[in-house]
Structure 1
Amino acid sequence: MRLLEAAATHPGGAPAKQLAREAGLALPTAYHLLRTLSHEGYLRREKGVFVLGDAAERLSAGAAEQNRRAMIGETLEYWRDAIGVPVYFALYRDGEIEIVSVADTAGNPAVEEWADFRETGHAHAIGQCLLAQLDDAARRDHLDRHPVRSLTPNTVRDDRTFLRRLEAVGRMTPVTEHQEYALGTVCAAIPVTVGSTAATVAISVPSSQASRLAPATRLLQEELGKLLRTLAFSISI
């Protein structure tokens, strides 16, 4: 690891002797480890110097992704504590609904994914909010792959009715649903659009506390403007 760290500080590469010195290793040990790292793809030798290889680049990309996801998690936890409800962040990417992160507590648990969120976007506020941000062709393509189906007595019954509902929703208007995905739960989702990517921040409360949904949504909208930069950065995940 010390050899990799030393190599990473030299984008143009460094010779074995320099890397050994910077890593605090005896030269024979460094030569042996450099051969191993090169064989495994973490380093590669070019014109007598060692530079990071593909495996090290993948490792770095994975660490960056974890860091971005941690930033999202911290942001959602802030909102969770400030508002007192579970908070979700989701994207529409590559034609699918993706729940990126969820922040909840034992006392205020998130909605249980009893039916695949990707396939039931018509029933939950997250999916409805994301699909409302798409154009008509993208919506129809999604429903061709994931057609409307009833999950509760409150779920929309057919594709045509659902598409009419989406047309009535403004692109940047919050969406609410009442026990359409799961009985006993009401949800709201606020659209977040960065470039061409549709995203949303959502909350849920028990249906017995439905009166909390509207004020919690308004508070989240106010906070969203302050912390949008963190979520916008996460679009690149």
Structure 2
Amino acid sequence: MALRHEPTAPYDSTQDALRVLETVARHTTGVTDAGLTRETGIGTERLTPLLRMLRREGYVEQVTDGAYVTGAALTRLASAHHHEEALRNQLQQTLDRLRDRLGAAVYLSRYVDGEVTVTQYADGPGTPAVNEWVDFRSCAHATALGKSILGQLDHDGRRDHLSRHRMARLTSRTITSDRLLLSRLASQPPTVPVLDLQEYAVGTVCAAVPITAGSTAGCLALSLPVEHAHRLRRAADTLNRNATRVLLSLAL
């Protein structure tokens, strides 16, 4: 199985963020905005929101003279001790902030050992998670997060997955034709969020965006009650713009 590597805006932003962090790390006493622009080649218009995001996530801190130094979150992730715990905590904080910003439950999913797996999620009283009435691993064809991950596999990888999981009809909107599903996956632009309009569960709509880290396909997803369906596309676009935060944690 191979992944289709097609650049997306979050991927490009992540590469820029990594360049900024590498530059900050080299300057143990701090580096200014002007210094970062000069050394990274990233213009002020792009650098300013990147630095704002990196400060919010705790990857950099600004000292009294305005220079930037390595932040506590980056120090924790860079440590060999308890790295997995630090990564999980960092991702959870990011998902929690996205949940609050979007007013929707948010999910992180990865393709692990040939299965679609939700590794972490953030929900709350006003943003309930989807009722997993059918195991997500067996119904990638019917969920936004499943289709987003399948879309990152090559044709043989998709065929292999579908051969192992029967495409059951979960609602009247569920796609059960492998030919139709494969056609839609092939035509799905990587930069456009995948939507699920009550295909998995009546009363729920979802969206997902890809976050491929290394050789592992993954995605960031959200769900909303159908009465909030009018907010889905805007929320999906916001999710896509904020996927850099998750990609960055996974890349460090």
- Whether these two folds match at TM > 0.5 is yes
Q: What's the counterpart of residue 90 of structure 1?
A: 109
Q: What's the counterpart of residue 248 of structure 2?
A: 229
Instruction: Please provide the CA RMSD for this pair.
Output: 1.9
Match of 1:170 among 175, 189, 209: 189
Q: Does 1:202 align with 2:215?
A: no
Equivalent position SS for 1:203: strand
Unaligned runs of 5+ in 1: 1-60
Q: What's the counterpart of residue 15 of structure 1?
A: none
Query: Any conservation in 1 of the 2:211–2:243 contact (CA below 8 Å)?
Result: no
Measured after TM superposition, the shift of residue 174 of structure 1 is 1.3
Q: What's the counterpart of residue 18 of structure 2?
A: none
- Give the alignment's TM-score, normalised by structure 1: 0.69
CA distance in 2, matches of 1:210, 1:107: 15
Higher relative contact order (CA 8 A, sep 6+): 2
Say which one has the larger Rg.
1
Measured after TM superposition, the shift of residue 201 of structure 1 is 0.5
Residue type at the aligned position of 1:83: L
Residue type at the aligned position of 2:193: P
CA distance in 2, matches of 1:229, 1:177: 26
CA distance in 1, matches of 2:174, 2:98: 28
Q: What's the counterpart of residue 160 of structure 1?
A: 179
Measured after TM superposition, the shift of residue 87 of structure 1 is 0.5
CA distance in 1, matches of 2:191, 2:251: 15
CA distance in 2, matches of 1:225, 1:107: 25
CA distance in 1, matches of 2:188, 2:126: 32
CA distance in 2, matches of 1:85, 1:167: 28
Match of 1:150 among 169, 186, 190: 169
Taking every aligned residue pair, what percent have the same amino acid on both sides?
Answer: 45
Residue type at the aligned position of 1:198: A
CA distance in 2, matches of 1:211, 1:193: 28
- Give the alignment's TM-score, normalised by structure 2: 0.65
Equivalences, count:
174
Q: What's the counterpart of residue 64 of structure 1?
A: 83
Q: What's the counterpart of residue 110 of structure 1?
A: 129
CA distance in 1, matches of 2:113, 2:245: 28
CA distance in 2, matches of 1:226, 1:178: 26
Query: Any conservation in 1 of the 2:91–2:246 contact (CA below 8 Å)?
Result: no
